[in-house]
Amino acid sequence: MKKYNFNPGPAVLPASTIENTAKAVLDLNGSGLSLMEISHRSKDFISIMDETVALFREILSIPQGYSVLFLGGGASLQFLMLPYNLLNKKAAYLNTGSWASNAIKQARYLGEVVEVATSKDKNFSYIPRGYGIPGDADYFHITTNNTIYGTQIREDMDTGLPLAADMSSDIFSRPVDVSKYSVIYGGAQKNLGPAGVTFVIVREDALGKVERNIPAMLDYRTHIEKGSMFNTPPVLPIYASLQTLKWIKEKGGLEALARMNAEKAELLYSEIDRNPLFEATVREKKDRSLMNACFVMSGKYTGLEADFLAAAAAKGIIGIKGHRSVGGFRASMYNAMPKEGVELLADTMREFEKAKG
Ligand SMILES: *Cc1c(COP(=O)(O)O)cnc(C)c1O
pLDDT tens per residue, range 44-89: 999 999 999 999 999 999 999 999 999 999 999 999 999 999 999 9
Give the span between the Cα atoms of 304 and 185, in whole angstroms.
Answer: 39
pLDDT at residue 145, as a whole number: 98
What are the structural domain ranges in the chain?
Answer: 4-11+253-356, 15-250
Give me the architecture of the 4-11+253-356 domain, per CATH. Alpha-Beta Complex (3.90)
> What is the crossing angle of helices 235-250 and 15-26, to 10°?
140
Residue 176 confidence (pLDDT) above 90: yes
Q: What is the pTM assigned to this prediction?
A: 0.98
Return the amino acid letter for 14: P
Using the mean position of ligand 1's atoms as its centre, give its distance from the Cα of residue 28 in Å.
30
Domain 15-250 top-level CATH class? alpha beta
Residue 357 confidence (pLDDT) above 90: no
Q: Above pLDDT 90, what percent of the chain?
A: 99
Facing residues of 220 across strands? none
Per-residue b or e along 253-287, where b marks 16 or more CB atoms closer than 10 Å to that residue's CB: bbeebbebbeebbeebbebbeebebbbbbbeeeeb
Give the span between the Cα atoms of 74 and 104, in whole angstroms.
Answer: 16
Q: Which atom of ligand 1 is nearest to the CA of 148?
A: 15
Q: Which of 129, 133, 149 is nearest to 141 (CA)?
A: 133
Dihedral sign for Cα atoms in the order 321, 324, 330, 335: negative
Q: Whose C-alpha lies nearest to ligand 1, atom 14?
A: 168
| Catalytic-labelled residue, pool 43, 90, 105, 166 | 166
| Protein residues whose CB sits closer than 6 Å to any atom of ligand 1 | 9, 74-76, 99, 143, 147, 166, 168-169, 187, 190
Q: Quickly list DSSP for 176-235.
A: --GGGEEEEEEETTTTTSSTT-EEEEEEGGGSS--SS---GGG-HHHHHHTTT-SS---H
Catalytic residue status for 170: no
